[in-house]
Amino acid sequence: MGSYRWNWPILLADPYYGWIVSGFGNTCLIAVLAWIIAFPLGSAIGIARTTELRPLRFAGTAYVEVFRNIPLLAQMFLWYFVVPELLPQDWGRWVKRDMPYPQFLTSVLCLGLYTASRVAEQVRSGLEAIPRGQHHAGLAMGLTPAQVYRYVRLPVAFRIIIPSLTSDFLGVFKNSSLALTIGVLELTSQARQIEEYTFAAFEAFATATLLYCAVTGIVILAMRQVERRTRIPGTIAIGTQ
Amino acid sequence: MIELKNVSKWYGAFRVLDDCSLRIAKGEVVVICGPSGSGKSTLIKCMNGLEPFTRGEVTIDGISVGARDTQLPKLRARIGMVFQNFELFPHMSAAANITLAQLKVLGRDRATAQAKTDALLARMGLADHAAKFPAQLSGGQQQRVAIARALAMDPIAMLFDEPTSALDPEMITEVLDVMVGLAEEGMTMAVVTHEMGFARKVADRVVFMDEGAIIEDAATAAFFGTPRSERAQHFLSKILQH
Amino acid sequence: MEGGFDFAILIRNAPFLWGGMVLTLQLTGLAVAGGLALGLVLAVLRLSRIPFVPALVAGYVNFLRSMPLILAIFWFYTLIPKLTGQSVSSFYSVLIAFILFEAAYYSEIIRAGISSVRRGQIAAALALGLSNAQAMRYVVLPQAIRTMIPVLLTQSIVMLQDTSLVYVVGLRDFLTTADIVAGRDSRPVELYMFVALTFLVVCFSASRLVNRLRRRYAL
Ligand SMILES: Nc1ncnc2c1ncn2[C@@H]1O[C@H](COP(=O)(O)OP(=O)(O)OP(=O)(O)O)[C@@H](O)[C@H]1O
Ligand SMILES: [Mg+2]
């Protein structure tokens, strides 16, 4: 390491500074948009897996198994290279020629659908952690099964899984780096590009690493607050990490 | 045999044990009682060094428990302990639970250890259950295995921390019977329990604790006759009500 | 897609693809072994009472867990040659990245397993005269292992999938060889579908097995 020539100022020079800022912005944007897909979809699938309806349960299970047993990178390639070929001709042409921001939107979709499978697992395990007596007590009061979900089971389940959902959100944030494989200029790829242009490898990667760590820290702190605010009085937080 | 001299313990600013002194002579049975949270478990765990204490001295057979150069494992091997929640090792059969420390601590050979285990299981009336795992046994059976596990070390004294309070009423008797048998054989015993019938029957002395302090230490007859302190009277009246 | 699904292309390129698969399996095997060993050390250190060590280990683990794997791969791929001053084959750079990265995840699993054993169990073991090390060896670890093994195996399945990320440094694993063929023969549909299906079958069966194991050995 003795011969390494440090060059931190280069990161503030044009155009590298701008690259880092835009890369960081893209990373955050992809993560948030993908989460907006993943959270509701994953919750629905997780709920489906706990219902009494066999077809629903089966569909939910199939979704989860397919998405979590194919490498995310392979999924990225499937969405980007394969799906447009399999669509009806007009749609395929539109996707390939006219869809705006094709790489960006493809990675958001891919990450969103993948993360939904993880959210689904968390929601299911949260729901299953609630004693069956709660469900029966709700039904005995005359609530419909849907109402039992809405007023009894889900409010508790979501509180239980706040820590695991936090780590899933951080997962999608880190996984957004895979978008670089189809050409999205997010944080990791910008760091890589700076390294190629300037040979300031250590500086570029360290900056990217710091930004990832900072966001992780902030998200964890914020979610601890959420957890504290929503805690049911008299209960102990489960698995605060 | 077991001697505590001015033992105190703090958790931060909270005083769990307050200047406790107690002597248990060879062959003596001492029952320790007192309200929940009064420090009974902590006191009895100080006797074999499972709980470190802040001040004072505990000696077993002349060996200091708190001293730096004391080999605690060796000392503990000579004192049996029975827990409220049995604490059988769930991944081992009843027999393996009893054999483990004989092999690993005492260094007995397998045949000797096995013979000892079989004899103890038979004595506890559990000969048919040797191969079962803890989860396949009732609470009373589990606690008897735990007692056998402690006895397998040929202890010079036995410590019991509420051995029957996790049990259903019909199982309490089967465990108490075993303990009465031990006491009658002359085993030195310190027993934390609220079973006053047991205390009356076999205890030589009863110790009453409250808020970390030993309030009363009296011969059994004297304790049940006329407890000196008001707090002990109050406790007794509540516990004997039913 | 022109001319329907072309199976022949898979057969024609089977040896090349198999070579990629071999690299994927080698990398996974070595990284699992190295990651587990380092992870166990980290977990024990983190639960130890040596001054400063638990905090240091926690820092290491949390640092790596907040970094994307791709970035870790880039770090080691570019820095290890610079650090050592000699050219290290990219396979070993990447292997080191995987071991150090996965060890952080494994150590958390192992630590959780050890901590899940009730404290009373340790007290009971010590009360029998077992030493701390013996209590760990005969009482805590055998119980912890039952809860840990399924999670460790699941994490290893995840790792098998994660090795596909070596694509970013051009190491020829299964996915990368398929990508090369896809580009050369303009057959992305066949190749990527083949890769996805292969992983799906392998990983799905593996996780089924893990589930069976979990149920069989549940305490
Ligand atoms: N690790 C700890 N930190 C702080 N306080 C503790 C800790 N362990 C025990 N205490 C406190 O020490 C006091 C004595 O506890 P101990 O378990 O000895 O009581 P006990 O008399 O055995 O009660 P019980 O009948 O409920 O078993 C209690 O008030 C308890 O809250
Ligand atoms: Mg107690």
The pLDDT of residue A241 is 30
Question: For residue A238, is pLDDT > 50?
Answer: no
SS3 labels along B180-211: HHHHHCCCEEEEECCCHHHHHHHCCEEEEEEC
Q: Cβ of A12 under 8 Å from any chain C Cβ?
A: no
Q: Is residue A199 part of a domain?
A: yes
> What is the residue-averaged pLDDT of chain B?
91
> Residue with the nearest Cα to atom 28 of ligand 1?
B37
Q: Is residue C133 part of a domain?
A: yes
Q: Is residue A24 part of a domain?
A: yes
B197 lines ligand 1 (CB under 6 A): no
Is A81 in Cβ contact with C182 (below 8 Å)? yes
Give per-residue pLDDT as tens, B139-186.
999 999 999 999 999 999 999 999 999 898 888 999 999 999 999 999
Contact assessment for residue B89 and residue C143, using Cβ atoms and an 8 Å cutoff: yes
B72 — pLDDT class (breaks 50, 70, 90): confident
Question: For residue A208, is pLDDT > 70?
Answer: yes
Question: For residue C84, is pLDDT > 80?
Answer: no
Contact assessment for residue A192 and residue C74, using Cβ atoms and an 8 Å cutoff: yes
Q: Cβ of A170 under 8 Å from any chain C Cβ?
A: yes
The pLDDT of residue C52 is 92
Of the candidates A74, A192, A205, the beta carbon closest to that of C195 is on A74
B41 lines ligand 1 (CB under 6 A): yes
Question: For residue A239, is pLDDT > 80?
Answer: no
Is A81 in Cβ contact with C196 (below 8 Å)? no
Q: Cβ of B196 under 8 Å from any chain C Cβ?
A: no
Residue C134: C-alpha distances to residues A198, A216, C91, C137 (Å): 55, 39, 40, 5
Chain C residue closest in CA terms to A191: C71
Q: Cβ of C75 under 8 Å from any chain A Cβ?
A: yes
User: Angle between the A54-68 and A102-128 helix axes, to the nearest 10 degrees?
Assistant: 130
Of chain C, the percentage scoring pLDDT greater than 90 comes to 61
B79 DSSP β-pair partners: B157
Lowest mean pLDDT among A32-46, B67-81, B103-117, C162-176: B67-81
Q: Is residue C203 part of a domain?
A: no
Cα dihedral sign for C23, C29, C32, C38? Answer: negative
Calculate Rg over the CA atoms of chain C.
21
List phi, psi (to 5°) of B93.
-65, 165
Q: What is the domain range of residue A136?
A: 13-230
C chain contacts of residue B74, beta-carbon cutoff 8 Å: 129
Q: Cβ of A70 under 8 Å from any chain C Cβ?
A: yes
Q: What is the domain range of residue C118?
A: 24-174
Lowest mean pLDDT among A64-78, A87-101, B189-203: A87-101
Provide the pairing of β-strand B55-60 with B157-161: unpaired
Task: Give me the residue label for tokens 């999670």.
Answer: C151
The pLDDT of residue C99 is 96
List phi, psi (to 5°) of B152.
-60, -20
Q: Is residue C181 part of a domain?
A: no
What are the residue ranges of helices labelled H in C48-140?
A: 53-65, 69-84, 90-115, 119-127, 132-134
Chain C residue closest in CA terms to B72: C129
B134 lines ligand 1 (CB under 6 A): no
The pLDDT of residue A141 is 62
Q: Is residue A237 part of a domain?
A: no
The pLDDT of residue C2 is 55
Q: Cβ of A32 under 8 Å from any chain C Cβ?
A: no
C chain contacts of residue B80, beta-carbon cutoff 8 Å: 127
> What is the residue-averaged pLDDT of chain C?
90
Is A192 in Cβ contact with C75 (below 8 Å)? no
Q: Cβ of B72 under 8 Å from any chain C Cβ?
A: yes
In chain A, the N- to C-terminal Cα span, in Å, equals 36
Count of domains for chain A: 1
CA of B13 to the centre of ligand 1 (A): 14
Q: Is residue A33 part of a domain?
A: yes
The Cβ of residue A1 has, within 10 Å, a number of other Cβ atoms equal to: 9
What ipTM goes with this model? 0.89
Q: Is residue A236 part of a domain?
A: no
CATH code of residue C156: 1.10.3720.10
Q: Is residue A8 part of a domain?
A: no
B193 lines ligand 1 (CB under 6 A): no
Q: Which of C118, C126, C128 would you mutate first to test chain B, the one with the most B CBs within 10 A? A: C128
Q: Is residue A1 part of a domain?
A: no
The pLDDT of residue A234 is 57
A chain contacts of residue C189, beta-carbon cutoff 8 Å: 81-82, 85-86
Lowest mean pLDDT among A14-18, A68-72, C204-208: A14-18
Task: Please state, in angstroms and rounded to a whole number, the distance separating the CA atoms of residues B188 and B203.
Answer: 11
> Residue with the nearest Cα to atom 5 of ligand 1?
B11
The Cβ of residue B43 has, within 10 Å, a number of other Cβ atoms equal to: 28
Residue B193: C-alpha distances to residues B26, B87, B108 (Å): 20, 17, 33
Q: How far is CA A105 from the centre of its chain?
A: 14
The pLDDT of residue A50 is 92
Task: Please state, in angstroms and rounded to a whole number, the distance separating the CA atoms of residues A191 and A205.
Answer: 6
Q: Subunits with at least 3 CB pairs below 8 A relative to chain A?
A: C
Give per-residue pLDDT as tens, C125-150.
999 999 988 998 899 989 898 889 99
Q: Is residue A4 part of a domain?
A: no
Give per-residue pLDDT as tens, B174-202.
999 999 999 999 999 999 999 999 999 99
A25 — pLDDT class (breaks 50, 70, 90): very high
CA of B17 to the centre of ligand 2 (A): 13
> What is the residue-averaged pLDDT of chain A?
87
Cβ-based interface (< 8 Å): residues of C facing B = 118, 120-121, 123-131, 134, 138-139, 142-143, 146, 219
The pLDDT of residue A201 is 81
pTM, 2 dp: 0.78
Question: For residue A127, is pLDDT > 90?
Answer: yes
C31 — pLDDT class (breaks 50, 70, 90): very high
CATH code of residue A131: 1.10.3720.10
A chain contacts of residue C162, beta-carbon cutoff 8 Å: 71
Give B7's Cβ-side CA count (13 Å radius). 30
The pLDDT of residue A66 is 96
Is B74 in Cβ contact with C219 (below 8 Å)? no
Q: Is residue C125 part of a domain?
A: yes
Of the candidates C83, C168, C182, the beta carbon closest to that of A181 is on C168
- Residue B216, helix vs strand vs coil: strand
B36 lines ligand 1 (CB under 6 A): yes
- Calculate how close chain C gets to A161, using CA atoms only, in Å: 17
Count of domains for chain C: 1
Chain C residue closest in CA terms to A80: C188
A233 — pLDDT class (breaks 50, 70, 90): low
Calculate Rg over the CA atoms of chain A.
22
Chain C residue closest in CA terms to A178: C70
Can you tell me which atom of ligand 1 is nearest the CA of B192? 22
